[in-house]
Amino acid sequence: MPESVASLSKLRRRLARIEGVRPRDDGARVATGCAAVDDWLGGGLARGRLHEVMALAREDAGSVAGFAAMLGLRAGEGRPLLWLRTDAAERQCGTLYASGLGELGLDADAVLVALVEDDAALLKAANDAARCAGVGALLVECWGDPRPLDLTATRRLMLAAETSGVTVLLLRMAATESPSVADTRWAVRASPSVPLADGTPTGAPGHPVFEIELLRRRAGSAGVTWRVEWNRDRSIFQEPAATPVSGAVLPVAAL
């Protein structure tokens, strides 16, 4: 049955493109796997929409990148993940590390990284890529508060996502909140990990844990914070099962 629903959604979007009309919300969702989050969102993030994932401080950038990659994996359903970033981001933050992506559960061969010259080119490439239905999920990495990223730019991204069905995750690193038509906006921070049951007195740090705050939601209330743990083996987020290791924050440094 889920396969039938997905096929029907794809067919509707294809017909809408042929007829040149904007598709309606078919209710498709990207479940995170964490019941508390998915229940609050009515089943998960709306698929084929624009979502913002923010690092309000520069030191949270690694956590945001890792969290967004995991969401992209959930949204892609086996299709390629396209990651757009600028040359400046590549120089300042280094190249994405294929082995690190693999540690998160992503197939490095299914992650496409594209570098562009500047922020204007980044948004233009994002608009083009968001219209490509063959992309599983699109990550657009922005640093600071680039001038081209205004209300109109986010509206264009949203329209492209709705038309193609591609879920677009706008990574806003070291940024401040600004007007946007994004369906949801999140702030992400690293959180203490849960110790592994490895026989040691305290246990080694376990899976990466994030504190995620829903800052804004177009179709409902926001202002809620959860702690979620990434289960790489099952490729889902889940609620941490035990008391966190005191002071042990696992950075997603492998990216």
Q: Tell me the pLDDT tens digit for each residue of 117-147.
A: 999 999 999 999 999 999 999 999 999 999 9
Q: Is the pLDDT of residue 106 over 80?
A: yes
Whether the CB-CB separation of 140 and 170 falls below 8 Å is answered with yes
Over residues 183-198, the mean pLDDT reads: 88
Please state, rounded to an integer, the average pLDDT across all residues of the chain. Answer: 86
Over residues 193-222, the mean pLDDT reads: 83
Distance CA 33, CA 231 (A): 10
Task: Tell me what pLDDT residue 21 has.
Answer: 43
Distance CA 172, CA 55 (A): 6
Q: Where does residue 44 fall: left (phi above 0), alpha (psi -120 to 50 degrees), or beta otherwise?
A: left
**Domains within the chain, CATH numbers bracketed:** 33-194+215-238 (3.40.50.300)
Q: Is the pLDDT of residue 195 over 90?
A: no
Structure tokens of 243? 């008391």
| Strongest mean pLDDT among 48-62, 96-110, 233-247 | 48-62
The pTM (predicted TM-score) of the whole model is: 0.83
Residue type, 114: A
Percent of the chain surpassing pLDDT 90: 63
Whole-angstrom Cα Rg for the chain? 18
Task: Tell me what pLDDT residue 57 has.
Answer: 87
Quick one: which H or E segment has residue 151?
helix 151-164
In the sheet that holds 81-86, the strands lie side by side as: 111-116, 81-86, 137-143, 167-173, 50-55, 184-191, 209-217, 224-231, 236-238
Task: Tell me what pLDDT residue 22 has.
Answer: 47
Q: pLDDT higher for 235 or 94? A: 235
Q: pLDDT higher for 250 or 184? A: 184
Q: What are the angstrom distances between the C-alpha of 98 and each of 63, 78, 148, 255?
A: 16, 17, 30, 8
Which residues are within 8 A (CB) of 118 and not within 5 positions of it... i.e. 6 or more apart?
86, 87, 88
Q: Is the pLDDT of residue 29 over 50?
A: yes
Whether the CB-CB separation of 107 and 136 falls below 8 Å is answered with no
Encode pLDDT of 70-103 as tens digits: 999 999 988 999 999 999 988 888 888 888 888 8
